[in-house]
Amino acid sequence: MKKRNRVRVHGVGFLLIIILALEVILSASVGSANLSFFNSLKIIIHRIPVIGNFYDLSDVKEVYIKIVWDIRMPRILLAGLTGCALSVVGASFQGLFKNPLADPHILGVSSGAAVGATIAMLSGMTMSFMGLGVIGIFAFLGALITVFIVYQIACVGNKISTVNIVLTGTAVSMMLSAVISLLMAFHHDQIEKVYLWTMGSFSSATWQKVSFMSFFTLVGIVGIFMFAKELDVMTIGNDSAKSLGIDTSRVKKYLIILASLLVAACVSVSGIIGFVGLVIPHCIRLISGPKHKRLLPFSALGGAIFMIFCDTIARTITAPSELPVGVITAILGTPYFIYLLQHNKRKLGA
């Protein structure tokens, strides 16, 4: 019975990868200029080293190649990476804080980023680094500074209490939101810009941002995955984990550092996108079971699939204008989540 279970779980993983691949190609085909599925498939494959050389692109219009490869692909990949990162962080936080409500923004990362972004917008400065504009840079720094402060406040001696850190994160978030409101009260002309930023968007995606985000996603996700076993034991209880030889304070510290870097990178390229990090891990847990060794990689895939789907809708449904992707994630995700809650009342949760 155990063996059959394992086959089933691997099957689900394989299925998720196939869905993701099809979705990427499909999403690259739709938009104001509609391409056929096979044309975009060709364009994408053509870029893959070695195999790409066997594909002849001469029958595809130059402008389509540009649209798919230079405009749509960076955006799709950026959305995928962000969805991936946010839901892995969400899954690990739900285990770490033993709180089904934990999401990537619980430590005040997003409001810190928002303050940074707001200051950047109001200052009117221009600079860029690793493909990030001034808003992205300030958001990244704002996020990290905030987590650092929250972490310092929540430490008692050299111990971190999970209750303390969640409460401190929430309190600091509230204060920072007030700071944003205050800044906006003095700069009415910028309200729309700030507001739109906080709802999240991938419209400014570039290949540079994709490589920036790939770096953080890879390091962060691999890092978090190293703690899969520790997270399993910690969901049973702190005392249990300690008596089984796990240095819980160290695990908490490393996970918080890794997760904060990941979330800071996410908000700096896309603004604040809620919901994905909260809900995707819960949905995935229904398929993968509670073991983080499966939950984390499946959440990564699920998050990417969901985010690309939402962003594709965000940029096509009201074309040529577009909607903030955070709006779509919530509008699409909430009813589905409530449906799952109704049908699996006791199974949801860490």
Partner 1 sequence: MRESKNSYKSQITVNELSWKPTKDHKNILEKINITFDKGNIYGIIGPNGSGKTSFIKNLLHFVEPDKGNIMIEDVNLLDYRRKDLAKKIALVPQNTTMDSSFLVYDVVMMGRVPYQKRFAEASQSDIDIVTEAMILTDCYSFKDKEVDMLSGGEAQRVLTARAIAQDTEWLILDEPTASLDVKHQIELMESLVKLKKHKNKTIITVLHDINIAATYCNQIIMMKDGKVHSHGKTEEVLTKDKLREVYEINFEILDNMKNGKKYYIPYTCD
CA distance 21 to 304: 11
Secondary structure of residue 148 in the 3-state scheme: helix
Of the candidates 188, 177, 185, the one whose C-alpha atom is nearest the C-alpha of residue 114 is 177
Instruction: Tell me what percent of the chain is helix, strand and coil, each rounded to the nearest 5.
Output: 75, 0, 25
Distance CA 164, CA 150 (A): 9
Asked if 13 interacts with partner 1 (CB under 8 A), we say no
Query: Does residue 243 bind partner 1 (CB under 8 A)?
Result: yes
Closer residue to partner 1 in complex, CB, 33/286: 286
Tell me the C-alpha distance between 233 and 241, whole Å.
Answer: 5
Interface segment toward partner 1; rule CB under 8 A; list 7-15, 68-76, 166-174, 230-238: 230-238
Smaller CB separation from partner 1, 19 or 155 = 155
How far is Cα of residue 208 from the mean position of the Cα atoms in its chain?
18
Check residue 349 for interaction with partner 1 (CB under 8 A).
Answer: yes
341 binds partner 1 (CB under 8 A): no
**Which residue lies nearer to partner 1 by CB, 158 or 342?**
158
Decide if residue 16 touches partner 1 (CB under 8 A): no
Q: Is residue 163 involved in binding partner 1 (CB under 8 A)? A: no
Q: Which residues pair with 159 in a beta bridge?
A: 156
Q: Which residue shows structure tokens 């999970």?
A: 162
**244 touching partner 1, by CB under 8 A:** yes
Distance CA 107, CA 270 (A): 18
Minimum Å distance from CB 299 to partner 1? Answer: 15
A 10 A CB-CB count for 108 gives 27
Which residue among 33, 182, 247, 334 contacts partner 1 (CB under 8 A)? 247
- From the number of C-beta atoms within 10 Å of its C-beta (0-12, 13-18, 19+), residue 58 rates as exposed
Q: Which is nearer to partner 1, 13 or 289 (CB)?
A: 289
Q: Which of 3, 188, 345, 346 binds partner 1 (CB under 8 A)?
A: 346
Q: Which stretch binds partner 1 (CB under 8 A): 102-110, 234-242, 266-274, 276-284?
A: 234-242
Which backbone phi and psi does 190 adopt, to 5 degrees? -100, 0
H or E element in which residue 331 lies: helix 325-343
Distance between CA 90 and CA 45 in Å, rounded?
32
* Interface with partner 1 in residues 29-68 (CB under 8 A): none
Count the site residues for partner 1 by CB under 8 A: 27
Residue 291 interacting with partner 1 (CB under 8 A): yes
Nearer to partner 1, 184 or 246 (CB): 246
Determine the Cα–Cα distance for residues 22 and 39; give it in Å rounded to an integer: 13
Of 123 and 243, CB closest to partner 1: 243
191 contributes a contact to partner 1 by CB under 8 A: no
What is the nearest approach in angstroms of partner 1 to the Cβ of residue 322? Answer: 39
Rule CB under 8 A: which residues touch partner 1? Answer: 98, 157, 226, 228-229, 232-233, 235-237, 239-240, 242-247, 285, 289-291, 293, 346-347, 349-350
